Amino acid sequence: MLQKLFELFKLKMTRMLFFTAVTEVDDQEVCYYDCNIQKLIPKQEWMKKTESEDFYTDYWEHITKLYREILNPFSLSGAYIYQRRYGCTWDSESKHSNKFDAFGYNGEDIITVEENKYILSKQARDKWKEDIAEGFLERDGKDCVSWLNDFLAFGKSHVERIVFLLRKDPSSPVVCQATGFYPANLTITWTRNGRAYNNTVDPGEFQLNEDGTFQMSSTLRVTPEEWKWYQKHFLLNCVLADSATLNWREWVPYGCGLLAVIVVLCALAYCCYGKCRKSSKGKFLSQCTVHSCGVCVFVFVS
């Protein structure tokens, strides 16, 4: 899956100096710098949980160092506007990365990156040597991918993933829904007796939650007659990549005036853990808060 880190820096000098910086991960704003209070402000709930950690301090030192290093060769006398758009993409499967970078000074592009090589304007060449620019490309390119992976790792470790298996009535499709995860690289797979099952499955799309996490659902559409046959001959599972496996044992209806007793058995895999609880509003059959690769086995009793 392709991930992206994007940083925008803007420095404006008129009568006063104004500096702003915005960081986006996969097109989501995760933090920005407020020049009025001179502080890095997290924009996502999971990002706020990193404020007391070294990661937060280290990242702020990283972005301030970037704009200072590039700006030093230029004269800052008089009024000016400096901008930098910096970032990278990273394919977690192929391990391929690509750098993008552009510098603007008073409305003119002075340095751009094309095919992972710096292109310097005449103004920049007068200030820099080619080997210095290449050195920035090599160093920043490695740092960018490292920071991107750090953001993804911190986002994943600081959110609580919740998984639902739900069905409204015997004629309704079975839905496996996961919510509260980050980043948006979750895969939901239905398995039949341990093998991937794609027939009559409608895969969902990623949806953004208010707290900056994501949700996704996958729907298994079968008729009541088919469902009875499936229950008798097959064990159907809803599997989340690197996370939880939910086993659908028996359908339990829910609705007004009807109570179902839900017995939840959680089996922990490797060094991970899960916490299962019954829905407080009764809207879903069950929900399981899963951290990392915990395995949850659900048994439903009417």
Question: What pLDDT sits at residue 138?
Answer: 55
How far is the C-alpha of 224 from the C-alpha of 48, rounded, in Å?
Answer: 46
The one-digit pLDDT tens for each residue of the chain (302 residues) are 566 777 787 777 666 667 788 888 888 888 888 777 777 888 887 788 777 778 777 887 877 776 666 556 555 566 778 788 888 888 877 888 888 878 787 777 777 776 666 777 776 666 665 555 555 555 555 578 888 888 888 777 666 667 777 777 767 777 888 887 777 777 777 776 667 767 667 777 888 887 777 888 888 777 777 666 665 555 556 655 554 444 444 433 333 222 222 222 222 222 233 333 333 333 333 333 333 222 222 222 22
Question: What pLDDT sits at residue 220?
Answer: 78
Report whether CATH 3.30.500.10 matches the domain 2-157. Answer: yes
Q: Are 81 and 106 in contact (CB under 8 A)?
A: yes
The secondary structure of 135-183 as a DSSP string is: HHHHHHHHHHHHHHHHHHHHHHHTS-EEEEEE-SSTTSPEEEEEEEESS
Question: What pLDDT sits at residue 238?
Answer: 60
Candidates 3.40.50.620, 2.60.40.10, 3.30.70.360, 2.70.160.11; correct CATH number of 161-301?
Answer: 2.60.40.10
Q: Are 84 and 102 in contact (CB under 8 A)?
A: yes
Q: Are 99 and 143 in contact (CB under 8 A)?
A: no
List the domain boundaries for the chain: 2-157, 161-301
Contacts of 36 (CB under 8 A, 6+ apart): none
